[in-house]
Amino acid sequence: MTNRMLFINGEVYSESAVLPNGAVAVEDGKITAVYQSLEEISDDIRKQSELIDLNGALLLPGFIDVHVHGGGGFDTMKSSTEPGSIDGLSRFMASHGTTSFLPTTLTDEAGRLVEVVSEVSRAMSAGTGGADVLGVHLEGPFLNPIRSGAQNPDDMRTATKEELGRLLEASGETIRLITLAPELPGAMELIGYLTEKGVTVSIGHSDATYEIVQQAVAHGATHVTHLFNGMSPLHHREPGVAGSALMLDELTVELICDGLHVREELIGYVFRVKPKERVILVTDAMEAAGLPDGEYMLGKLPVVMKCNRVTLKEGGNLAGSALTMDQALRNALKFTGRTLEEILPALTLNPARQIGVNHRKGSILAGKDADFVVMGRNLELLQTYVRGHEVYHRSKTEV
């Protein structure tokens, strides 16, 4: 039987406009129509549909996180040894408004990475009970140890087409985003190879100069991993990766908007200087997100979380985050002073475009998946829908 739903009495943030009294029709998990008002809806559509009364709440496109390692006690890198990890992570993500994501790896041995990307691919094919898995973000191992951050430098290495080929095959060609350091030997050729394969190439954990970043862009790189973190900084005589990311409009930048990784005022500056479609918000969250303070693991390295700040147990470097996408949205509004309409694409359409899924994800538009976030007027999360299915509903105990 056809499953028809009609979301009414909400403020709808469609791809083209904010509709104060809008409505959205859904059939079999796809958006079939977006209405400016109830008066546009025929009696037949009303009678044939399950009515979802939003009671004045905001209906937003679902959030897309292209850089997340874990959360809720689940970890992408443990997925090959702990069954259900990706499904558990997907449910945790949905409880914070994320409707689709890229489980993100860490630098590790070749065999281990093959196992992990294989498991992510399997979970993607089987389907999850929360947010949709859109593929893999391979963050490492082709990174510069000088800018290792909270990743294990002992496992970092120069990329080869052979190893990349094994990983692509093991993933079922589902690697959508890869972070690498373009200054490593042979990297430029591989950027071109990956781009031809349809993989978005990101510059990260890199000590590259402005000239090297320019070369990487010329070969197809379009993305920068967690801007300002794990990269050569801006200097007035050598812009480094950070300065290059700000200066080159071809590059889309990730921001971890937790107030810890990037100073609040700098978040606002990035939104001012980068083209609006070239900024995306990510969590870079690890397994401790959503859990109490304590000791955890990030890959092979022990970390400590205290007051939502995650650091390496030895050395004190920031080690991923405890951020969620709904909180990233609230933070961005506070840090930038911009409107919800201005910030929202950084969590929705922009990341969808970067990984090539904007034809079906990232906005409320007829023909796309019915991925919705329902929020109250204070931006508290009320419900999450993935392809028309409610995968999270705020309980009374969470109020």
**What's the token pair of residue 313?**
């147990």
Terminal Cα-to-Cα distance of the chain (whole angstroms): 36
**What's the token pair of residue 149?**
């951050």
Active-site residue, 284 included: yes
**What's the token pair of residue 362?**
């990232």
Whole-angstrom Cα distance, residue 143 to residue 105? Answer: 13
Peptide bond into 239 cis (omega under 30): no
Whole-angstrom Cα distance, residue 67 to residue 51? Answer: 35
Q: Which of 94, 168, 116 is nearest to 299 (CA)?
A: 116
Q: How far is CA 35 from each of CA 11, 43, 209, 360, 370, rounded to the nearest angstrom?
A: 11, 14, 50, 19, 15
Please state whether beta strands 132-133 and 136-139 pair in parallel, antiparallel, or not at all (unpaired): unpaired
Q: Which of 301, 300, 321 is nearest to 312 (CA)?
A: 301
Whole-angstrom Cα distance, residue 306 to residue 43? Answer: 55
Q: Which of 170, 45, 49 is nearest to 116 (CA)?
A: 170
Q: Choosing from 284, 326, 369, 371, which is the catalytic residue?
A: 284
Q: Please provide residue 309's backbone torsions phi and psi, each rounded to the nearest 5 degrees.
A: -105, 120
Grouping H, G, I as helix, E, B as strand and the rest as coil, residue 325 is: helix
Helices (H), 248-298: 264-273
| Amino acid, single-letter form, for residue 348 | T
Q: What is the C-alpha radius of gyration for the chain, rounded to an integer number of angstroms? A: 21
The H or E element spanning position 137 is strand 136-139
**What's the token pair of residue 53?**
């009364």
Q: Is 42 exposed, middle or buried (0-12, 13-18, 19+ CB in 10 A)?
A: exposed
Helices (H), 220-257: 240-247
Catalytic residues: 284
